[in-house]
């Protein structure tokens, strides 16, 4: 039985002419110009109509068919006994997810050189690309804009076999910069504890903690969402304040720590002030000033 056909004895590729070629199967081929047969062993399933390698083919080698040069191989290395020259184009599939929640992302577009490639990701996050063999520098960009994700560049090397490539896009990172100071002396308060807990815009719970340094400053890294911020230190009553952070959050927020009086009561009055666009509160105790800055995380 003839499984594949080639025209010229110098051809490095042939074509499968029967269905059902399986890995490990001994194959018989017919050289039409010489009217003789050759044999190969397939090491993977080969669909009808696909090409076979009749000898070793490596990256950059000339491909011969019909006795003529039809191009150069762009795959890494292929042994002849594998019995299949991989197709010129390959289907790449995958799923795009939120890097924080793990939920699928819709409307993420892949581009190469600024040109869209394939359709945007579906509701379930799935996408597919039809790419030729070779190396492809791609960028995944979110088009939905419900949450601002940084574009994710990635490189795919296609070498003839179907490829699965999953992606994750991270929401922007927000840094909450804070300062704790003694309202009476104006000096930095070291060792104050700050805790931030809440829910991100994507849905997952998120929490972060920080302790003020010797200069009274601290940084808490979070994501856009709604949070409760608690500040506490020995000798002061802890306090909570709600904090909503958007993708463009940059409004300063203040927390007030009131010193504990005798018998556990709190004392002191609050005086609000605004300096350089940063709001704060001066009390008979300490002040906490939070300045929010946004950063888009890039991979």
Q: In what order do the strands lie in the sheet with 205-211?
A: 205-211, 193-200, 225-232, 239-245
Q: How far is CA 266 from each of CA 195, 245, 289, rounded to the nearest angstrom?
A: 21, 30, 20
**CATH number for 193:** 2.60.40
Burial class from Cβ neighbours inside 10 Å (0-12, 13-18, 19+) for residue 169 reads buried
Tell me the sheet residues that pair with 193. 211, 232
CB 125 within 8 A of CB 96: yes
Among 86, 120, 135, where does a domain finish? 86
- Mark 97-114 as b/e (b = at least 16 C-beta within 10 Å): bbbbbeebbbbbbbbeee
Split into its structural domains, the chain has a count of 3
- Say if residue 94 is in the same domain as residue 80: no
Check residue 87 and give its pLDDT.
53
Check residue 270 and give its pLDDT.
35
- Say if residue 95 is in the same domain as residue 73: no
Reduced to 3 states (helix: H, G, I; strand: E, B; else coil), residue 170 is: coil
Q: How far is CA 293 from each of CA 81, 151, 155, 286, 299, rounded to the nearest angstrom?
A: 60, 20, 31, 23, 19
For residue 59, the tally of other CB atoms under 10 A from its CB is: 12
Place of tokens 């006795």: 67
- Say if residue 80 is in the same domain as residue 108: no
> Distance between CA 240 and CA 153 in Å, rounded?
40
Q: How far is CA 191 from each of CA 174, 178, 188, 216, rounded to the nearest angstrom?
A: 23, 13, 10, 8
**CATH number for 38:** 2.30.130.110
Q: Which domain holds residue 114?
A: 90-169
- Say if residue 181 is in the same domain as residue 287: yes
Q: How far is CA 112 from each of CA 6, 30, 133, 152, 209, rounded to the nearest angstrom?
A: 36, 42, 14, 12, 40
Sign of CA dihedral 285, 230, 235, 179: negative
- Say if residue 208 is in the same domain as residue 280: yes
Check residue 185 and give its pLDDT.
67
- Say if residue 116 is in the same domain as residue 144: yes
**CATH number for 130:** 2.60.40.1120
Name the pTM for this structure.
0.52
Among 25, 52, 86, where does a domain finish? 86
Check residue 272 and give its pLDDT.
32
pLDDT in tens, the chain (299 residues): 898 888 888 887 788 899 988 888 888 888 888 888 888 878 677 888 887 777 766 666 777 777 777 776 665 445 444 454 445 667 899 999 988 888 899 999 999 999 999 899 999 999 999 888 789 999 999 997 666 788 899 999 887 678 899 999 988 888 887 777 766 666 777 888 989 999 988 778 889 999 988 887 888 888 888 998 888 888 877 777 788 887 655 545 566 667 776 344 333 333 333 233 333 433 334 555 555 555 555 55
- Say if residue 104 is in the same domain as residue 203: no
Among 149, 169, 189, where does a domain finish? 169
CB 233 within 8 A of CB 240: no
- Say if residue 193 is in the same domain as residue 277: yes
Check residue 153 and give its pLDDT.
95
> Distance between CA 12 and CA 84 in Å, rounded?
11
Check residue 167 and give its pLDDT.
95
Reduced to 3 states (helix: H, G, I; strand: E, B; else coil), residue 279 is: strand
Identify which of 22, 19, 68, 12 has the alpha carbon closest to the alpha carbon of residue 43: 22
CB 240 within 8 A of CB 230: yes
Check residue 116 and give its pLDDT.
92
């Amino acid at each position: 039985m003839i499984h594949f056909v080639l025209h010229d004895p110098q051809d490095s590729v042939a074509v499968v002419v029967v269905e059902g070629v399986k890995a490990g199967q001994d194959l018989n081929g017919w050289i039409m110009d010489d009217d003789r047969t050759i044999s190969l062993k397939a090491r993977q399933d080969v669909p009808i109509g696909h090409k076979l390698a009749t000898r070793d083919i490596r990256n950059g080698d000339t491909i011969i068919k019909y006795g003529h040069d039809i191009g150069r191989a762009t795959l890494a290395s292929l042994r002849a006994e594998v019995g299949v020259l991989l197709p010129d184009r390959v289907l790449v599939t995958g799923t795009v997810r939120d890097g924080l929640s793990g939920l699928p992302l819709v409307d993420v577009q892949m581009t190469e050189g600024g040109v869209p490639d394939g359709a945007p990701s579906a509701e379930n996050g799935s996408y597919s690309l039809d790419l030729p063999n070779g190396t492809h520098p791609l960028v995944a960009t979110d088009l939905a804009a419900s949450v601002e994700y940084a574009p994710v560049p990635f490189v795919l090397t296609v070498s003839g076999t179907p490829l699965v490539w999953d992606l994750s896009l991270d929401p922007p990172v927000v840094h909450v910069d804070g300062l704790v100071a003694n309202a009476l002396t104006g000096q930095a308060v070291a060792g104050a504890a700050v805790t931030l807990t809440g829910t991100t815009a994507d849905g997952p719970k998120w929490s972060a903690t920080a302790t003020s340094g010797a200069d009274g400053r601290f940084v808490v890294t979070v994501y856009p969402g709604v949070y409760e911020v608690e500040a506490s230190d020995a000798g002061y009553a802890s306090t909570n304040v709600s904090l909503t952070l958007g993708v463009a959050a940059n409004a300063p927020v203040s927390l007030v720590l009131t010193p504990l009086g005798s018998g556990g009561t709190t004392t002191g009055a609050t005086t609000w002030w605004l300096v350089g666009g940063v709001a704060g509160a001066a009390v008979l105790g300490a002040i906490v000033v939070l300045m929010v800055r946004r950063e888009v995380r890039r991979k």
